[in-house]
Amino acid sequence: MHSFSILTNRKRAIIALVHTVIFLCVAALQTVLSHANAFSLQGDRRVGGIVLLTIYLIVTTVLLVLLRYASHSSERLYFALCATSAAFGLLRVLLGDPALHAGALRVGLLSCAVIVGAVILRTHSREIAEGAQR
């Protein structure tokens, strides 16, 4: 039996995987469509920058807390990949990314997180199948 502490069942693993796929699509769109400028309190994009900064700060913090409480190695890897991606998103908002390095890293990290999430989901599905056979 695996000792997952956060993604404890198949339903939670599905929800986490769906969120990760959505964030992967968002990161890919941001990478393709925008060359991020550094955050500034001057200009006409001040409100949007503050909103993005706040969202990335909250998401990064929550994912780091989840990483802290994750007990299984694959669960820790999953949350580490997601938290690192969110931190790169935060840095991209703060510092800008005209060459798309942080955007490409985010897409890569989230792609790896999708793979790890699929492995976690498969683990839960296998446990359900084994329990049904008994």
- Reduced to 3 states, what is the DSSP secondary structure of residue 114? helix
Q: Band the pLDDT of 33: cuts 50, 70, 90.
A: confident
pLDDT: which is higher, 11 or 40: 11
Q: What is the mean pLDDT of the chain?
A: 87
Q: In this structure, are residues 89 and 58 in contact, taking their beta carbons and an 8 Å threshold? A: no
End-to-end CA distance of the chain: 15
